[in-house]
Amino acid sequence: MQPTIAAAIRGALMERDVRTKVMTTRKVARDWQRGKLAFAFDVEMPETPGRPDAPELLMPGRMPKRRKGGSERGRIALWHALAHIEFVAIDLALDMAGRFGAAMGRQFVSDFLKVAADEAMHFALLDRHLRTSGSHYGALPAHDGLWSAAHETRHDVAARLAVVPMVLEARGLDVTPMTIDRVRAAGDERGAQILERILDDEIAHVRFGANHFADCAERMGEQAGELWKSLVSRYFHGQVKPPFNDSARLAAGLSRDLYTALA
């Protein structure tokens, strides 16, 4: 009997070992592409994914402030924070496909498994870069607020799409070019190239979210822009704020009129 996509995704989500989660996620995406997994949702997704013993996860208010400037400690803290974002993004994409795939269909599953595989690759690149600096993922504490957006929108695919790809990931489009410039100015060309690769992929990830959100709005008989503003106001507890990378956002399917209305 063919294994199911839901069981495969849940297995990857529950994996606690960092390296194994990366490899398992990429295998799930490959197996799905090759038709080795049945389109069946016979198990539920976990409320919380498997987490490694390290890093220690802290609430935002308890996180140590990163020092500005070009110190070695500051550079390691930056790369560690970026690696943690990509590690949590693996689980966000897996959960999106596994939790909502039955209702949203095969293309939705394919798109978000591709996102999960990309995030796994991004994490591996960042962790390897950390190791060249004499550190590794888990060496510093990390932010525990990233999964909360997934938890709060676990019953509503439109809300999940509105907040995770179209707000949180879209914010990455805004800040990454400035980080690339800073990293390159510090002489870290390899780091800059990694971030450029991530930025290109994240544009596609936000576009997946925007396209599937538009489909949701159409199914619901709602105007996509008004629905997005309503859901973000309800479920996103931060601010949608400039500066915006308008060209990257437009390439990802986000019009300026949409997000400036909430800025």
Taking residues 167-191, what's their average pLDDT?
A: 96
Of 64 and 2, more confident: 2
Position 235 in a domain = yes
Does a cis peptide bond (omega within 30 degrees of 0) precede residue 165? no
Domain count, the chain: 1
Position 7 in a domain = no
Of 144 and 169, more confident: 169
Planar angle of CA 120, 177, 22, nearest 5 degrees:
5
Predicted local distance difference test score (pLDDT) of residue 226: 96
Range of the domain at 141: 70-261
Q: Average pLDDT over the chain, rounded to whole?
A: 94
234 has pLDDT over 60: yes
Bridge-based pairing of strands 142-143 and 57-58 is parallel
Predicted local distance difference test score (pLDDT) of residue 82: 97
Position 23 in a domain = no
Q: How far apart are CA 252 and CA 211, in angstroms?
A: 9
Taking residues 136-165, what's their average pLDDT?
A: 93
173, 248 Cβ separation under 8 angstroms: yes
35-44, 83-92, 114-123, 233-242: range with lowest mean pLDDT = 233-242
The pLDDT tens digits for 11-55 are: 999 999 999 999 999 999 999 999 999 999 999 999 999 999 999
12-21, 91-100, 233-242: range with lowest mean pLDDT = 233-242
Closest CA to 68 of 196, 179, 192: 179
Position 109 in a domain = yes
Taking residues 186-197, what's their average pLDDT?
A: 97
Which CATH number goes with the domain that contains 195?
Answer: 1.20.1260
Taking residues 203-223, what's their average pLDDT?
A: 97
Position 61 in a domain = no
15, 21 Cβ separation under 8 angstroms: yes
Predicted local distance difference test score (pLDDT) of residue 67: 57
Q: How far apart are CA 143 and CA 146, in angstroms?
A: 7
Position 163 in a domain = yes
Q: How far apart are CA 127 and CA 154, in angstroms?
A: 29
Q: What one-letter code names the amino acid at 177?
A: P
Position 192 in a domain = yes
Taking residues 203-214, what's their average pLDDT?
A: 98
Does a cis peptide bond (omega within 30 degrees of 0) precede residue 243? yes
Position 25 in a domain = no
Residues ≥6 apart with Cβ < 8 Å to 96: 112, 115, 160, 164
Predicted local distance difference test score (pLDDT) of residue 149: 87
